[in-house]
Structure 1
């Protein structure tokens, strides 16, 4: 690969190899120019990256005003949720009270809900294109199967038509081939359009990933506002694209008087009908970027349900690579952890060496830890969700029930204590439950720890202070979870609905967020995915229901 040359040196007709790139100035810099760049007041805050670092194929940030192309965006108006340059400020926003510099508005934007939602929406658009493309591929395979079936019919008829079979078979197969070729040509045209859209979405995702790791807050802030044009266009294009799609098929009609003067075994025709490719616009990222946006899940939309093989489900978890793990008690065979895709495809199982109590996915890894009990002995079993193999079994001397992991911390409920452990089961520190009996424990949004007894919900904060949050005599100590916004969800004994408590309220009220429905008849366990965009409910009668979480700004 040819080396890249320093841009500032190139102005002086010097060919000096570049070692860094400034993504704000979009210039390659040699070592000497890099040192100058870091020392100048105007550019010392710029981030310099290694010149060999792979960048997205295009930079999609618009930093110049569309109305005044010669002016850079310098301000953000919260009242109009839009970027503006100096001339825009003077012409249209001089009376607005909530105008701030982009640097101020972009502070900490990389960790903001708005940026995360933008990324999720682009993922949603990309997945929508891939889903339509998959249906086209399925249509292609169905046509191939039908072609094969028709060919078999033709071969069967051939044995009854010895005299004319060679000529008729040749004519008919030629018609089939040309008709199938016509279908595939039409499918290829539609697939090219879909692939182009999917590639564009993938380019956006690549840039998002790059900017998350290496971009400045200002660039990311500009990028988020750039995306609104793209997502609006895509949300209009995909339904139109779906509406224009056709579903192709192929049929064969036999001629009754085949041995007469007919020239083929039958007619070959194309059955062309509109393809049903529904598109649901992403609902979580409709608002533009604001500096102080707070999100909350307001509703849940049923996505799909699938059945689980074997005995009743005793727990559920979701991996970062979109796998559902369910574990079961099995009184005949060994206990198992079963893996499924979000669409219910069975991926395999992992045998567990004891009676499973709870499971936690270790962040940013392919590992999960299951707490086990076996004849009053306790253990931790590490499993690799990617290779679907057991890592190793860790015997421990303390009771283990519930387990959860967040950032670099792993906690287990030990009955009388909450124990912080490492991934080899060694106790880092223990926190006395002070008679509240913490067993099944969960991290909250701010690393506080929550657990339920038979009738009470408790919170243990980082200072090890335990606070009673709520009392209900129908609590189930294992049937609760929290979303990333700090809202707690739980089932109640003898109830099929899902309930919610907003822990930010001083006096929280219990709200029913999913009433009793046919999707899940005996709810028991639940969890969110890592982004809290999907909720998973398990049914003790062997089913898992998945809901899309609809978030809005509060």
Structure 2
């Protein structure tokens, strides 16, 4: 947008010098128009910048569909992670299940993984390019210096070889020049390309800085997705340069056999990888909010459910009810149901010792495993009538964890997870990295990612089998129950003694709960529906921790 005139004044044929720039309207304003802009109902919340700090290169609102006469992007397809105009929706996304307006999709974009990835990539490219450019300049100086040294050596050898050596020296110098020029030309070409990458990245940085600090969420959302292709291209270009970058040197390899001399040496190039690295960012799902880096919640014990007997597993339903599998004795094997105030609502008697429980979302049904490792029994339960409606046996699943989504059931087995439908029919097999370990605790997030622990590691795996991260605690401590909060942080019971919190990328964050009573070793863990309560089971009950 041109900044030489106030836009409203220009429309009235007045020529006033602008003093401010509106980020939302993207137009320059004089002092008087800026004052009006601040008090008008439609624009009083708009961010006004001093015209002098507006970046030269910025493109926020010029983000329209190039396929359909620059129609504005009004929709976002979650299935394809793409912006759509009205025509795009009709032509290419008619059968897509998840279409939403840009206004809704852009909510929380500044804390989304897609925006964080874009900003981090820009910063990474801007940090890497100066280093590589400096390295290339150093290479040129070094090559020039080494080439001059080789010339001196060539002249010394030439004096000993008289006429025949003169001829060979000429060939050698020509070879030297060709190889040196090739290296220098290549290095200069890389420098030119890096300067272009740096310039383009700086332009994108200006745009993202503005939308992050002053733009609307819609503008931020549009910026992320419109510039996604350019950022991906920058990433590929800088990665390709880094992978191909070598540090060359030139030395003379002399041949002093005068009697049968046919050459006085060869020009050799020794190429070594440089110390500069560029690691590509991890591929993450777009529009998945990540937790803020500060102000993470803490938890303090406020209540306890005692007298449950041996707790095999626990889970919270859509109604925010806590389901506990309990074995009080060989005659008392139950499912206990508590409300959000930890008051017992219902008891269901079972014929075998229950293990872990999975509840089908938006249904009053679930599945229960056996706590005995020699039993392969799985019971399907109607939690409205509290009756067993089906029973199946699955080989190789003794002691494995269980979790359920809207469509599938995930069951841990040795070295893998079996995926079944809600009737217990086999669908697929997800292989684990360690074929000797069994996922004993399993939980799913809203995106369908599978979090599971096998006593040694906790992993996050996509439903297609791709491993997103693996965390192994120091000192080979044992791992037990695992849970995920609404912001993507992972909580895992460590060595029966504490609950640690992992970042969404699987790196250690902090300890959330420390067990002060060695007689009550922690085992399983889950959150209530809004993640304000943390339930931790031990052998004789469940501790209730409340978010602070």
Q: Please say which structure displays the higher CA radius of gyration.
A: 2
Q: Report the TM-score, using the length of structure 1 for normalisation.
A: 0.47
TM-score normalized by structure 2?
A: 0.47
